[in-house]
Amino acid sequence: MILSGTVVADSSTVIRDGSVVVSDSRIEAVGKREELLDLYPDHRREEYDVLMPGLVGGHVHSVQSLGRGIADDTELLDWLFDYVLPMEASLTADEMESAAKLGYLELIETGTTTAIDHLSVAHADRAFEAAGEMGLRGAIGKVLMDRRSPDGLLEDTDRALNETERLIRRYHRSYDDRIRYAVTPRFAVSCTEDCLRGAREIADAYDDVRIHTHASENRSEIETVEEDTGMRNIRWLDEVGLTGDDVVLAHCVWTDESEREILAETGTHVTHCPSSNMKLASGVAPISDYLDRGINVALGSDGPPCNNTLDPFTEMRQASLLQKVEHLDPTATPAETIFDMATINGAKAAGFDRVGRLREGWRADIIGIRTDITRATPLHDILSHLVFAAHGDDVVFTMVDGNVLMEDGEVMTADPDEVRRRANEIDLDLEEARKVARKVKP
């Protein structure tokens, strides 16, 4: 297949009237359209306005998709214990599958080809299978919660860790290595020391397994961890082994100098979730400082109950504008930096090599964008448009590993109407679950 259009191969390489040649799961060539059409005359040809690497969701909650709009105007711990945990605890296996499919459908539709996905405690198999069947690439994990957790989510530590290992043996490197495992403690507030240390032991026992958790998102969370451990959050995670180049920490809004040094020295990845941080009034993460220190920063949408959209283009725009106004510096986080965060930085955090750029020999994770719209007129600078003006609904083509997941705006690997119908039929009756969750709220 030859895909042609304006090719944004990475943040510094734009090929006007370019083409990308795809053979099987790999990119065979990237270059000028006229030259490649001559070299590959027998390949199927498709034309798009703009071609670019698939975007990487560095922190998402696919299974929270059923909770879009149920928890507006709340702060983090109220949001979590009054709404989100009760919702997760109430879901049956079939409902969890529907939730995951709804989340993955939105990712495909809006140009996310790789996701670091934080599931829930139960029914993780259903989400793994949904992601694999729908064609996404991901580092995915069952949630670990062995303290301060409501019925339906609280697990015995050994049982939780044993289930994690079962899932690793079943799904890690499955679906042609598109699906990998991330050991996923929810956060230090809901995990014992044994659980956190056990997460590190499991990750060390398997090649290319990540660790993915939340950290230092909210001041109340940090105060709780300090009361429990005598340490600030990042210091505690470092103490129990949850830092390093295989660890992805979502948020990291409230960190001090010593914690930032730990992140930099250990090579720990940070995922910035600007819309979620703003909506929950958690604060402004010091992303410019992290980048200056050489910390790898990815971008994430978080979950629909604290964002309301999984559109990665929204996060690019928000991430840049938030740093500019925070520092009163219009040069902060330019489009090139943000584009890297949403592509190659996210791929590094997820642990996938040869993902996040359009390069010969790299994996064929490609999206096509339409620009025949008013928002793209006139189109002076394509990178500026992608970061500051484009929307997820501008995506018309999504490919992962050379497989077409969406073409002409129609998802090919699932029945979107059926996914939405099943999601709409689920009745979230959460009042009893809320009563239980409130009893363990810190």
pLDDT, tens only, 111-151: 999 999 999 999 999 999 999 999 999 999 999 999 999 99
pLDDT digits (tens, 9 = 90+) for 282-332: 999 999 999 999 999 999 999 999 999 999 999 999 999 999 999 999 999
Name the residue range of residue 127's domain. 55-350
Are 31 and 173 part of one and the same domain? no
| Residue 434 falls inside a structural domain | no
Residues 139, 209 within the same domain = yes
Looking at the structure, do residues 322 and 403 belong to the same domain, yes or no?
Answer: no
**Nearest-angstrom CA–CA distance, 149 and 84:** 12
pLDDT band at 438; cut points 50, 70, 90: confident
Structurally, how many domains does the chain consist of? Answer: 2
In a shared domain, residues 301 and 402: no
How high is the pLDDT of residue 173? 98
Cβ atoms of 44 and 1 within 8 Å: the answer is yes
Q: Do the Cβ atoms of 7 and 15 come closer than 8 Å?
A: yes
Two tokens at 98?
């529907």
Residue 381 belongs to a domain: yes
Domain boundary (350, 371, 392) is at 350
Q: Grade residue 434 by pLDDT with cuts at 50, 70 and 90.
A: confident
Same domain flag for 22 and 84: no
Indicate if 213 and 344 belong to the same structural domain.
yes
Rounded to whole angstroms, how far apart are CA atoms 263 and 23?
39
Q: Is the pLDDT of residue 176 over 80?
A: yes
- Within 10 angstroms of residue 354's Cβ, the number of other Cβ atoms is 13
Same domain, 63 and 11: no
DSSP letter (8 states) at residue 363: B
Element (H, E) at 124: helix 124-134
- How open is the CA angle 345-262-248, to the nearest 5 degrees? 35
Q: Which CATH number does the domain housing residue 41 bear?
A: 2.30.40.10
For residue 345, which phi and psi values (nearest 5 degrees)? -65, -40
